[in-house]
A and B are shown apart, each in its own frame.
Chain A
Amino acid sequence: MLIDWSAFRLSLELAACTAALLLPLGLWLARRLAFRHGRGKVVLEALVALPLVLPPTVLGYYLLVAFGGASPLGQLWSHVFGHVLAFSFDGLLVASVLINLPFAVQPMQRAFEALPPDVREAAWVSGLTPWRTFWRIELPLAWTGVLSAFALTFAHTMGEFGVVLMVGGGIPGETKTAALSIYDRAQAFDTASAGAMSALLLGISVIAIAVVYGLAGRVGRRHD
């Protein structure tokens, strides 16, 4: 078979779950970083950005240690869910959420920071609670950033390699994602398969980038 569909389905599942988890978490972090200017802000911002510079294998290694049966987290997890976190889909998902934090948070943070400064206050004074201000004023003005974050997270997860290999181990059907499958095929000199799957991932990435830049263009025009 030219394309390892089970690996692609796994990658799609992982990407969808990661994006779905990061949407609320990233929104919360992005708003916090955009609107609050306490002392902890710089530290939090740096922590969120860390996965951008940290080698994925390094993050993967630490996660593997943290997930392992010897760690408190690993023990708690296997106690509650009955299986170990390492070399499982759940473990991949946790790793994927962490490594994608900057891709989700930064576009949303920029979008919230770009809101006109008095507009949120005007909404509160107009009688909207902070919750309704979020839905009626903030989100409609920042939605392009939210969608960008979603597209970037999705595409980045589809192609993630190092952390996925470290934490998941490439077990077929459980943790062997599309990127790992491409690596496998290339190692086996199966260039037809590797090429076909690479082209498919390339297509997905192009679509994601088109979404992000298409939105950026829209926003640029709207603020003219």
Chain B
Amino acid sequence: MDWPVAWGAVMTDDDAPGLVVELRQGGPIPLDVSFECHAGELIALIGPSGAGKTTILRAIAGLYRPAVTRVACGGEIWADTRTGVFRPPHDRRVGMVFQSYALFPHLTALGNVEVALSHRSPAERRAAAHDLLGLVQLDALSHRKPSELSGGQQQRIALARALAREPRVLLLDEPLSAVDRRTRRHLREELAVVRSAVRVPIVLVTHDLDEAAALANRLIVIDEGQVLQAGLPGEVLADPQSDRVRDALDLPRPA
């Protein structure tokens, strides 16, 4: 799969500052989380549903504002409650794939991707959108509306739209949960390609241990808004540090 030349701008060096996240609040959704994610690294936030994983992604994107927030990315401060900095979502260069995909139902596949290219000149948008649809192998269906596409195809449009933003961070909310096994394997391969091509921090939310282990450089186990354990996937799986971690990962407790 060829990566469009224009994406050079997105690629960053490994030692460039990645994503720094610190979120704390008592309620209504309790959060006590801090982590960093380097460019090119994929972190999986894993835990049961209702653990606060999606809330963390939303806070990184600026869609949710916890009481104490610090989000910095690519050397820019996006939110810092101590200094009162808050950049709204449209000013953050985030690529986000929503769990429900959240495609624009009235626009074609091409239109959906073009919307996220507003930082490019109008003349460039059409061609760039076609390139991206080609990347997710959907250029032949560019004139279909989301309702005329399968779940797996919608999900790839959502991925293309997220990449169109030329994001400084990629946020994926349960990207493989709503598709069948075959599509899932396919998408996983596609994600691997995307990941090697766009060297930005990637945060993946999932409750599927296999998915996390297959894709992630690092696992962060979350429950009730707290980090229970973080580390390499092999380490975490081999040595869960508490019964809460085992429960969150749905691993058997020792007899």
Contacts and interface: CB of A to CB of B under 8 A. Distances in A.
B118 interface: yes
A25 interface: no
B188 to A, nearest CB: 23
A121 interface: yes
Contact of A126 (B62, B100, B115): B115
A140 interface: yes
Contacts of B106: 140-141
Nearest to A121: B63
B90 A129 contact: yes
A123 B115 contact: yes
Interface centre among A118, A123, A127, A141 (most CB of B within 10 A): A127
Contacts of A122: 96, 98, 102-104, 161
A125 B94 contact: yes
Interface string A37-66: 000000000000000000000000000000
B105 interface: yes
Contacts of B90: 124-130
A118 B102 contact: yes
Residues of A in contact with B, size category = 10 to 19
B118 A119 contact: no
Nearest to B100: A118
B105 A128 contact: no
B89 A125 contact: yes
A179 B207 CA distance: 64
Given A121-B63, A122-B98, A136-B115, A116 B89 contact: no
Nearest to A119: B102
A54 to B, nearest CB: 37
Contact of A125 (B100, B119, B165): B165
B115 A116 contact: no
A8 B52 CA distance: 61
A126 B105 CA distance: 15
A126 B61 CA distance: 10
Interface in B150-176: 161, 164-165
Interface in A135-178: 136-137, 140-141
B129 to A, nearest CB: 12
Contacts of B102: 116, 118-119, 121-122
B104 A119 contact: yes
B94 A116 contact: no
Contacts of A129: 90
B88 interface: yes
A126 B161 CA distance: 8
10 contacts: A119-B105, A122-B96, A123-B104, A124-B63, A125-B61, A125-B165, A126-B90, A126-B165, A127-B90, A130-B90
